[in-house]
Amino acid sequence: MTTDKRIEDIKKIIRDYQDFPKPGVLFRDVFPVVKDPSCFKKLTDLLVEHINSLPEKVDVIVGLESRGFIFGPIIAQALNIGFVPVRKAGKLPGELIQVEYSLEYGKDKFEIQKDAVTEGQKVVVVDDLLATGGTMKAACQLMDKVKAKVLDCLVVIELTDLNGRQKVPYQMSSLIKY
């Protein structure tokens, strides 16, 4: 993604919290961007422009609980396509597919409804932030299990200097890198 004045404006209002939620973690809080309507519009426009620049047309936006739910649906709506949630274990009804994963400050389990994305559908996976990449990698494993085609794994913020970074198996894109 290219440099853009809008990215600088967004970067200015992301807030940092040292030692949250655990000692040693520098937490990057994206919520001030959502609170500022002009910045939030800039951010969603940038994400939509990025998706429109992909070589293939996207069928479904997949968002990761919970901060991926802030950005995913608004992007899907702008693109006039559907949004599908990937949720932490025990939240979704019906037949599910599950994976376990580890993230910067813990472990969790992700689930998707079996028929939410169908074989061959082209998806973009959206989240607010990539740290170790464990969360995004787990979402990709779910996409493999439903035989979706992942065109892009898109995050607002990417932490590039983190120890224990896990490889995300598909194309990764981020607006802001630290």
Ligand X SMILES: Nc1ncnc2[nH]cnc12
Which residues does the annotation mark as catalytic? 67, 104
Does 85 bind ligand PRP (CB under 6 A)? Our answer is no
Does 66 bind ligand PRP (CB under 6 A)? Our answer is yes
Residue 85 interacting partner from ligand X, ligand PRP, none (CB closer than 5 to 8 Å by kind):
none
CA distance 110 to 48: 25
Candidates 130, 142, 143, 153; binder of ligand PRP (CB under 6 A) is 130
Query: Quick check: 84 and 61 in contact, CB under 8 A?
Result: yes
Residue 66 interacting partner from ligand X, ligand PRP, none (CB closer than 5 to 8 Å by kind):
ligand PRP
Beta-carbon count within 10 A of 105 CB: 14
Q: How big is the site for ligand PRP, counted in residues (CB under 6 A)?
A: 15
Residue 78 interacting partner from ligand X, ligand PRP, none (CB closer than 5 to 8 Å by kind):
none
Buried-state track 24-61, b at ≥16 Cβ within 10 A, e below 16: eeebbbbeebbeeeebbebbbebbbebbeeeeeebbbb
